[in-house]
Chains A and B, each alone.
Chain A
Amino acid sequence: MSAVSLPGEPVVDVVQARAHGLTEGEYAAIERCLGRTPTFTELGVFSVMWSEHCSYKSSRKHLRMLPMRGPRVAGGPGENAGAIDIGDGWVAVFKIESHNHPSFVEPYQGAATGVGGILRDIFTMGARPIASMNSLKFGSFDHPRTRYLLSGVVGGIGGYGNCVGVPTVAGEVMFDAAYNANILVNAFCLGLARREELQSARARGAGNPVLYVGSATGRDGIHGASLLASAEFDAESASKRPTVQVGDPFTEKLLIEACLEAMKTGAIVAIQDMGAAGLTSSSSEMAGRGGLGIELDLDRVPLREPGLTPYEILLSESQERMLLVAERGREGELAAVFEKWDLHAVTVGRITDDARWRALYCGRVVADIPVASLSDEAPVYDRPAAPPAMPMRVRGTKKRPVAPEPGAALRALLASPNICSRRWVYRQYDWIVQSNTVVGPGSDAAIVRIKGSRRGLAMKVDSNPRMCAIDPYLGAVATVCEAARNVACAGARPAGITNCLNYGNPERPEIMWQLVRGIEGLRDAAIAFETPVISGNVSLYNETEGRAIPPTPTIAMVGVFEDVERRVTQCFKQPGDVILVVSTAPPSLAGSEFDALFGTVAEGLERIDLERERKLIEGLVGCAEGGLVHSAHDVAEGGFAVALAEACFNLDGIFGAEVELALPLGGAAEALFGEGASTVIISAPTDRIEAIGTLFSPLEIRPIGRVSDRARLRIDSLIDEDVRGLMAVYEEALAGRLGAK
């Protein structure tokens, strides 16, 4: 079949293809697949669909090793998001996605549209979005751009999420110089659906009409996926600001309500949002999944301004647009629902049985491409991977300053932007709306209840780039362990994972090696916890002028409560309770916040024994289900001493802790501030020690002290601090450093 170029369009050749981010080999493959030179429109279409962002061409081969199946999985990769069965006929649909490059170029809109995009991935599955989380990485706190980026990103997430009425229940924020020139914004959303109401993005039925709903198409976001998200940054990145889309959360809110209502008519065959590569990807992917063809009448696409070319219409990434395949003859029913919400459904094409993706404009065919070549048959690369000659963290170059005495070190850690209270951030997010939030931000994991059921969900997003920088495999394993531990500390059983793999340029063998090792770590840990990876996203080319970010696999873990009343929180609740510690390995200062603050040149990571990690999770869930413990808190950034202090910070009444660790005077830093190992601090009535011990066996539980009603935190004779003073340091550090109240 043939397609025509339009008058005035640029000549298509290999130079033009390269300007579109395609390689010579890829251009030759396009010519082979069409049997002719592509039209300018077709070149644009291939360039976005074969971009790293849309095709996963560097990672696809390796992602296949992830465990994606399991008894709970109700819908996995292949659709717009994965789903797990959480009981009583409910499924949780969730996914995490990156919006790194746009957020660095335009922080408010970049982050806002990141939230908008992930929301659409969830409700397109027929699930009502009920909770959001995010993982943010900024450059050094003192870097001149950090404050601008931080307030822009937080403002954008709040501005969008608050307006659509989905609570932002948890998140993480990290500051490290490694992200000075490439921040990370990963957005997670979870939705709830009845199992039988899950929607598909698989087109069916030749002759069925294709409907367009939502905002009109404008020139924003053209080549967002190919040129912005699939290339490194350089000095000219700021000039790519026009490729960042602008969000309209009000229209998104209308779309959520209208689409969920329209789905109830049963007249929708398939539905997908127009995300990266907009109309092109949504139409070709829906047709591709169904093994069918699709024909689009570009003249009928609603436009924001006249004069858009077919190329622009197909590549626009204007936000808040949905494409759906309707059952023929039932368009009227759907139109009525959308009209009720002041939205208009426009028929812009039809499903065909010839497996071609065809676009018509002014009576001419401007693109005619085999559907499969846009999705399934996009190039897959097995790029060379090799460990770097030198480890990423060069040892022995830092001076060893005198680390302060333990009390001062604890205060310094509590004031660190990486540890202190994130209240300044989450105070700008609505974490209350929808009336499900049992535990909101500022705790190990967020907890939401499921209305009309005893069930609940715990969720947490984690990453550990400093460990990944030392060992990309162990770092990924540790990240999954931490996410599972956070969920289990809350008392929920870890059930499923979504991941966002943020790495540098995959064309460099050492980056490819990091990515492969990261996926291997994720695989091994996910298998150990029986938590399938049901969805995810890969973000590559996170580097600027040849310097890559540290490998940053971001993991979101979702856990299930059969009875949400059995939840556990991190704070001490009862004076006289015994404080217990359970640990899988000795802590280490390598990659710790203490190491970052005081430059103690710590070496090496402990091996992680996944069988012991699994036991720890089982023990935590068992303790919660049996109602044995009053609190459980994960030891994370800042180590044991910081976690113990956090457990004392109960807003309903401050507690203290009296702890004996019998540490040697000289080498206490590892035990007090070391990270890496999986350690949990539990408080419980003394008479339950034995029952708790049985649940954790063969792990050892160690009674180390008592919860006290005196607000002092004492560890051996090393630390003796006023808890209120520590809390003031912890609570005020971020706002204080930002000069805000």
Chain B
Amino acid sequence: MKWGVVSFPGSLDDADALYALREVMGQDATRLWHKDERLMGAQCIILPGGFSYGDYLRCGAIARFSPIMKSIARFAADGGLVIGTCNGFQILCEARLLPGVLVRNRSLSFICDRVIVRVENARTPFTCATRAGDLLRLPIKHGEGRYVAPEDEIRQIEERGQVLLRYVDASGAETDEANPNGSMHAIAGIANERFNVFGLMPHPEHAVEKMLVGGDDGLKLFHSVIESVR
């Protein structure tokens, strides 16, 4: 299938996502330039991690005004698949394509680590190759990954099954210790109401090769998208 990976100034994991898609998974993936409005026929678009525009203002607050974001909003409104990882998740929230916001980690410092997330809803294009309750080991690396939203909004998100991934411990239990950044309801990844836009703080693109520190559990999420498009 055809993927598009957006490069904003300050994007970091764009090259890694392209490498994962092309070299590891043999997919057709194109780099999309932020000043461009063309999506080059991509069937799924990835907004990568990094520090777009240095994140000197609120994370993602400037990137959302890039020319390409207009096209992506239209693409999403038409049901196109969009994934935002880390900074990409922050941009999707800033662009109001996903509810809630991401604020500074509870520890107030940057965290790079491997975490375990539990699949909460496997009936989505992003998780259909997994089963609800599956545990995935994925890397995180962010300073502002604490998911927050008004309580009533969180309740609706939960009721509709929009929470796709939640931080848990090795036994699959939700504990305070297993929640690395203090996210509400230990939310690691959410989808929009239509389940075609997905934002997550962990980095599946850094979990596609067994040899590397990130492991290869991220493949399951990419395979889900590939299956759902097929």
A residues contacting B by CB (< 8 A) are 155, 158-159, 162-165, 248-251, 253-254, 341-342, 426-440, 449, 451, 564-565, 740-741
Contact = CB atoms under 8 A, between A and B. Distances in A.
A163 B15 CA distance: 15
B113 A427 contact: yes
Interface string B5-18: 00001101101100
A712 to B, nearest CB: 22
B19 A435 contact: yes
B213 A250 contact: no
Contacts of B19: 435, 451
Given A253-B12, A427-B112, A433-B12, 13 more contacts: A163-B51, A164-B12, A250-B51, A254-B10, A428-B109, A429-B110, A430-B141, A431-B112, A432-B139, A432-B206, A435-B20, A439-B213, A565-B211
A248 B55 CA distance: 11
Interface in B28-74: 49-51, 53-56
Given A430-B112, A430-B141, A432-B203, A249 B54 contact: yes
Interface residues on B, range: 20 to 34
Given A433-B13, A434-B16, A155 B141 contact: no
A258 to B, nearest CB: 10
Given A342-B9, A429-B112, A451-B19, A740 B107 contact: yes
A432 B213 contact: yes
A119 to B, nearest CB: 14
A438 B143 CA distance: 23
A430 B86 CA distance: 13
Contact of A250 (B53, B110, B112): B53
A431 B212 CA distance: 11
28 contacts: A162-B51, A162-B110, A163-B10, A165-B12, A165-B50, A250-B10, A253-B51, A253-B54, A254-B9, A254-B10, A342-B9, A427-B109, A428-B111, A429-B110, A430-B110, A430-B112, A432-B112, A433-B141, A435-B16, A435-B19, A435-B212, A435-B214, A436-B212, A437-B213, A440-B213, A449-B212, A451-B23, A740-B107
A250 B63 CA distance: 13
A703 B200 CA distance: 49
Nearest to A449: B211
Contacts, number: 92
Nearest to B139: A432
B209 interface: yes
A435 B9 contact: no
B56 A250 contact: yes
B109 A155 contact: yes
B111 A427 contact: yes
Nearest to A424: B109
Interchain residue pairs A-B with the least CB separation, the first 10: A250-B54, A165-B12, A435-B16, A163-B51, A430-B141, A437-B213, A428-B110, A430-B112, A440-B213, A432-B139
A434 B109 contact: no
Nearest to B49: A433
A26 B173 CA distance: 71
A675 to B, nearest CB: 29
A432 B51 contact: no
Contacts of B205: 435
A162 B111 CA distance: 10
A53 to B, nearest CB: 29
Contacts of B112: 162, 426-432
Contacts of A434: 15-16
Interface in B70-95: none
Given A162-B110, A165-B50, A249-B54, A431 B9 contact: no
Contacts of A155: 109
A156 to B, nearest CB: 11
A740 B105 CA distance: 13
Contacts of B50: 165
Contacts of B55: 163
B54 A435 contact: no
Contacts of B16: 433-435
Given A250-B53, A427-B113, A435 B209 contact: yes
Contacts of B13: 165, 433
A432 B141 contact: yes
Nearest to B206: A432
Contacts of A435: 16, 19-20, 205-206, 209, 212, 214
Nearest to A343: B9
Contacts of B213: 431-432, 437-440
Contacts of A429: 110, 112
A158 B206 contact: no
Instruction: Count chain B CB atoms within 10 A of each CB in A163, A342, A436 and give the residue with the most.
Output: A163
B141 A162 contact: yes
Nearest to A252: B54
Contacts of B141: 162, 430, 432-433
B214 A250 contact: no
Contacts of B113: 427
A681 to B, nearest CB: 23
Contacts of A164: 12
B208 to A, nearest CB: 8
Contacts of A427: 109-113
B116 to A, nearest CB: 13
Nearest to A158: B110
Contacts of A342: 9
Contacts of A438: 211-213
A155 B143 CA distance: 11
Nearest to A456: B211
Instruction: Count chain B CB atoms within 10 A of each CB in A158, A159, A433, A565 and give the residue with the most.
Output: A433
Contacts of B110: 158-159, 162, 427-430
A429 B111 CA distance: 7
Interface string B198-224: 000001011001011110000000000
B75 to A, nearest CB: 24
Instruction: Count chain B CB atoms within 10 A of each CB in A341, A434, A439, A449 and give the residue with the most.
Output: A434
A259 B139 CA distance: 30
A251 B10 CA distance: 9
B148 to A, nearest CB: 19
